[in-house]
Structure 1
Amino acid sequence: MSEPYTKEKIIQMRKKHIGPSCKVFFAKDPIKIVRAKGQYMFDEKGERYLDCINNVAHVGHSHPEVTKAAVKQMEVLNTNSRFLHDNLVQYAERLTATLPEKLSVCYFVNSGSEANDLALRLARQYSGHFDVITLDHAYHGHVTSLIDISPYKFLQLGEEAKKEYIHVAPSPDTYRGKYREDHPNPGAAYAEDVKNIIKEAHQNNRQIAAFIAESMQSCGGQIIPPPGYFQKVAEYIHEAGGVFIADEVQVGFGRVGKHFWSFQLQGEDFVPDIVTMGKPIGNGHPMSCVVTTREIAEAFGATGMEYFNTFGGNPVSCAIGLAVLDVIEKEDLRGNAIRVGNYLVELLEEQKEKHQLIGDIRGVGLFVGVDLVKDRQQRTPATAEAQHIIYKLKEKRILLSADGPHRNVLKFKPPMCFTKEDAKMVVDAIDKIITANNSQEITNNLPANACRPQENGFYSENIPVSNKRIRTK
């Protein structure tokens, strides 16, 4: 075995062999991670970093039960789903048991992007329509069809990058959106905007195939939709002949604690037509899934075109998926999300009383956002301050991220084994950073050209900021 490369050597080799658009975290001083365990990551020097954002390692980095399941199955068999195998149907049965009854048919794929792309195909085949309504600031994946429905991405190229078959609805943000916490019914008001988009589309002879939304927007700034929003949107979409796609790629599998799926926060009377999932499903193993109704699945199959995915639903992936479900249950990770998440919010609320920089704290379970502001009355985004905090935390070996339309929202999405001690550690560090710096000092100390975050939340110093917006109606 060859000697490990130094950081400098790796950077040199990346420049030579890796595409220039593939950025690294903290480009001025990137981190080389050699191992990880639980909620911690370790660099080549053995220094430990607290991971506050890795929602992929859902039950914890390198979980022994997940690793054991993968190795055990790999030693016996790994093949495709055209052969009968217990793991595929056993996992499908376990997974659909966590969902409302009508969501009963699975398509196994390999990534969140694949899942969302397939969901669009299902919706378009079932509805016979093509257009899609998405939310402003949404991110749904990196393949061409999903860049088209991800304003978080395509707006970097300017307004002209929006396709004519894509319609952008306002993000249901009750803190800095058009309908705020003082509105008597923000959910209905935001849904009315979707209704108006449908009406305008029809006037232009366009038909809506689907409305797609992350059940809670992450890249959009940790946005939790107001009560009743999804119900009313689903009503309008169904009237238009379309379907409702709930993207749970970042926020599913018990992260909210109260429920297994984040869309369930909207109430028992809301059931999406299609649910997509990825990231946490395999605890880092590349697998994902689309779950839909029997009616939609049969319409998709009526084309006569076979759907086949070489790796989707293979025995190893399904063994890993089953192990993840087992760990969530055995270790009461949903309960942990409630206990630790509530404690984290309590600590942050104490800091809000202490620091005017903190404008809003929002979250459910281990999905929490801290909206930083220069002025609480005006709610002016404190972008430079947020980025400064992220870099200072990195120096303290704490990995947090900032995102949202103004890149001013600190995002907590840690592994589900995150503890109260971890929560106190990071909040204490944030307190010290804010206390030590006033706004002018923060701005002066910010790394040059630090700007737009990647979809994982870390900032890259190499990507230009685009402030171009589009009309959302």
Structure 2
Amino acid sequence: MTREVRQILDMNAFDPGRAGQSDAVARRLSNLGAASVLFYREPIQMVSASGAWMTAADGTRYLDFYNNVPSVGHSHPRVAAAVADQIAVLNTNMRYLVAVVDDYLQALKAKLPTDLENIVLTCSGSEANDLAMRVARRATGGTGFVVTQTAYHGNTALATDASPSAFRTGDVPDFVVAIPAPGAAQYGDDIAGGFAAAVRGAIATLADRGLKPAALLVDSIFSSDGIFADPPGFLAPAVQAMQDAGGLFIADEVQPGFARTGDAFWGFARHGVAPDIVTMGKPMGNGFPMAGMAARPGDLAAFCENVGYFNTFGGNPVAAAAGLAVLQVIEDEGLQDNARDVGAHLLAGLRQIADRAPQVADIRGAGLFIGIDLGLPDAPDSPDPAETVRVIDAMRDRGILIGAAGRYGATLKVRPPLCLTRDEADLFLTAFAEATGA
């Protein structure tokens, strides 16, 4: 059976060539043209959201298991109040001293490894990863990067070059080597050893091309690859292999960071590794656009000798107020513990369903970040993207929003807000059982 590699924007996406478009869809397509990306074959017009729920224009309420940006809950009142209060008083750039900005930076640094003393704030994870790659090149003198086969690290020119899943045609450039994601299907029982060997092989490939490595750049839960979380610690030998070769480890925490994995505040922390650079974004401001890169002072100083960095909107006081509120809510509402506990409840329920649903090939994850592989019932190791689309639509019909990931688009990506309750998790489990015929 031929398996087609899926591009990230094609997963669970509306076909703009489809007939019978609504007025709202036609309006969007006329405004954005070929760059328009809409979820579902029948796009949803949303009007409001709260907690783990979103409400459509027709009044339908949906339990959101798709969107990991409003991590502490849609429209969280404390984040909304922090944004409103700050923008009513002052919003400007980082060339002025504004206390809330440094309050936020110090609160964020308290969550990071102590040697990463400098944080550069940006507006998007793409900007953060682009900057991290440039800093890594300057710090090491290398130019090459090792990523995973279905990675997504952003949409600037440089970050896209390191994002194999973004390519509809062609492949990554010669300074990037993509290796298989750290799963048992590729590496068997020795995921740690196999993945480290793949990194060493990629370094050798770069050397054959006359290139020195700058960094291993991975999303520490490998979300676009299909979510690979276990066993904890498997990432450490691969990181060591890159550092031994003179490169850095860039931990892309744009998706797994900020308490989502439950076991730890950062995805990399589950593996007991010390990143040279950490990038972050999406959940930082609970929907307010903000992101950042944390680095050692010496590495950032070396980069700034050549170019320097300034971002007009990065680190503005309103973003800092939103980010500080997010950190406080995670702590005050115990959301890391909730992610661990409700995530464990979800995993247990999903595994019970898998026993009755032959198309459920594998379930992986940590906290409230779970991947569900769907395969052919008589050959579960063969990915079935068509079944994945059918299940996604069946879940939507039952009021649940969920997306796809993985090399073949056959992995359901489960990432609800961290405030998800056990009752809401049970609603998901019931819908998933019905959608899979379990």
| TM-fit CA distance, 1:23 | 2.0
Q: Out of 77, 99, 118, which is 1:105 matched to?
A: 118
Distance (Å, rounded) in 2 between the aligned partners of 1:202 and 1:432:
52
Check conservation: 2:50, 2:74, Cα contact below 8 A.
yes
Corresponding residue for residue 16 of structure 2: none
Distance (Å, rounded) in 1 between the aligned partners of 2:162 and 2:95:
32
Corresponding residue for residue 179 of structure 1: 187
> Could you say what secondary structure the match of 1:68 adopts?
helix
Q: Out of 33, 51, 56, which is 1:38 matched to?
A: 51
Q: Out of 284, 287, 308, which is 1:284 matched to?
A: 287
Q: Out of 67, 71, 96, which is 1:83 matched to?
A: 96
Corresponding residue for residue 244 of structure 1: 249
| TM-fit CA distance, 1:259 | 0.7
Superposed, 1:379-458 pairs within 5 Å as 379-435=381-437
Distance (Å, rounded) in 1 between the aligned partners of 2:331 and 2:244:
38
Which runs of 5 or more structure 1 residues have no equivalent in the other structure?
Answer: 1-6, 437-473
- Larger CA deviation: 115-124 vs 422-431: 422-431
Check conservation: 1:188, 1:228, Cα contact below 8 A.
no
Which runs of 5 or more structure 2 residues have no equivalent in the other structure?
Answer: 1-20
| TM-fit CA distance, 1:411 | 1.3
Matched, 1:194 2:199: yes
> Could you say what secondary structure the match of 1:76 adopts?
coil
Corresponding residue for residue 356 of structure 1: 358
Check conservation: 2:175, 2:206, Cα contact below 8 A.
no
> Could you say what secondary structure the match of 1:379 adopts?
strand
Distance (Å, rounded) in 2 between the aligned partners of 1:222 and 1:108:
27
Corresponding residue for residue 107 of structure 2: 94
Distance (Å, rounded) in 2 between the aligned partners of 1:256 and 1:231:
17
> Could you say what secondary structure the match of 2:235 adopts?
helix
Deviation track 1:208-259 (CA, whole Å, cap 9, x = no partner) reads 1111000011121112254444322222222222111010001100001111
Superposed, 1:49-64 pairs within 5 Å as 49-64=62-77
C-alpha spacing 1:224/1:274, structure 2 compared with 1 (3 Å): same
- TM-score, with structure 2 as normaliser: 0.92
Superposed, 1:240-279 pairs within 5 Å as 240-267=245-272, 270-279=273-282
> Could you say what secondary structure the match of 1:157 adopts?
coil
Q: Out of 6, 11, 15, which is 2:29 matched to?
A: 15
Distance (Å, rounded) in 1 between the aligned partners of 2:60 and 2:379:
41
| TM-fit CA distance, 1:378 | 5.9
Distance (Å, rounded) in 1 between the aligned partners of 2:196 and 2:34:
40
> Could you say what secondary structure the match of 2:34 adopts?
coil
Give aligned pairs, total: 418
Distance (Å, rounded) in 1 between the aligned partners of 2:122 and 2:88:
22
| TM-fit CA distance, 1:377 | 6.2
- TM-score, with structure 1 as normaliser: 0.85
Check conservation: 1:187, 1:227, Cα contact below 8 A.
no
Which amino acid is 1:243 matched to? L
Which amino acid is 2:290 matched to? M
Corresponding residue for residue 239 of structure 2: 234
| TM-fit CA distance, 1:370 | 1.2
Distance (Å, rounded) in 1 between the aligned partners of 2:404 and 2:378:
19
Q: Out of 320, 328, 334, which is 2:336 matched to?
A: 334
Distance (Å, rounded) in 2 between the aligned partners of 1:312 and 1:331:
27
Distance (Å, rounded) in 2 between the aligned partners of 1:157 and 1:432:
37
| TM-fit CA distance, 1:21 | 2.8
Deviation track 1:350-373 (CA, whole Å, cap 9, x = no partner) reads 111212121211111000111112
- Larger CA deviation: 194-203 vs 395-404: 194-203
Distance (Å, rounded) in 2 between the aligned partners of 1:378 and 1:35:
38
Q: Out of 20, 39, 42, which is 1:25 matched to?
A: 39
Superposed, 1:205-216 pairs within 5 Å as 205-216=210-221
Corresponding residue for residue 17 of structure 2: none
C-alpha spacing 1:58/1:227, structure 2 compared with 1 (3 Å): closer
Which amino acid is 1:298 matched to? A
> Could you say what secondary structure the match of 2:437 adopts?
helix
